[in-house]
Amino acid sequence: MSINPQVSIVIPAYNTAVYIGRAIESALKQTLTNIEIILVDDASTDRTLAIANSFTDRRLKVFTNFENLGVSATRNWAISQAQGEWIAVLDSDDWYAPTRLERLLQIASQQHADLIADDLYLV
């Protein structure tokens, strides 16, 4: 019997080889560990897919579009594959603070929320 992840992190990726490793690492290093990461490469022409495939953590699932479909279609397909109770989006050129998901879920639980959002840090 498999246990569904608490959070599915969806990452649409297109030609972000410079950033994708950091995005994936930030998802994998969350203090909340019951997660899955669904990364969909949108027919990148750089090393984005190779870098994504270099990770061996079983929580990371990498898929590839055979043609460029755009970020919205790619993100929506990733969401359709999600098994988690919650869905979190992560752009391939961004990253999460280590406690982000844990803190968001704590607030969601306290507030009995159906949806929760936060802001970003500009670096």
- What is residue 119's predicted lDDT score, i.e. its pLDDT? 77
- 35 part of a folded domain: yes
- 81 part of a folded domain: yes
Q: What is the mean pLDDT of the chain?
A: 95
- What is the number of domains present in the chain? 1
Q: What distances in angstroms separate CA 64 from CA 13, 22, 50, one per listed residue?
A: 9, 19, 11
- 89 part of a folded domain: yes
CATH of residue 102's domain is 3.90.550.10
- Mean pLDDT check: name the lowest of 21-25, 92-96, 103-107, 119-123: 119-123
Q: Give pTM, 2 decimals.
A: 0.93
Where does the pLDDT of residue 1 fall: very low under 50, low under 70, confident under 90, or very high at 90 and above?
very low
The sign of the CA dihedral 83, 85, 87, 88 is: negative
> The domain containing residue 63 runs over which residues?
7-111
- 18 part of a folded domain: yes
- 53 part of a folded domain: yes
User: With 70 as the cut, is the pLDDT of residue 89 above it?
Assistant: yes
Q: Do 58 and 45 touch, CB atoms closer than 8 A?
A: no
Q: pLDDT for 14-34, tens place per residue?
A: 999 999 999 999 999 999 999
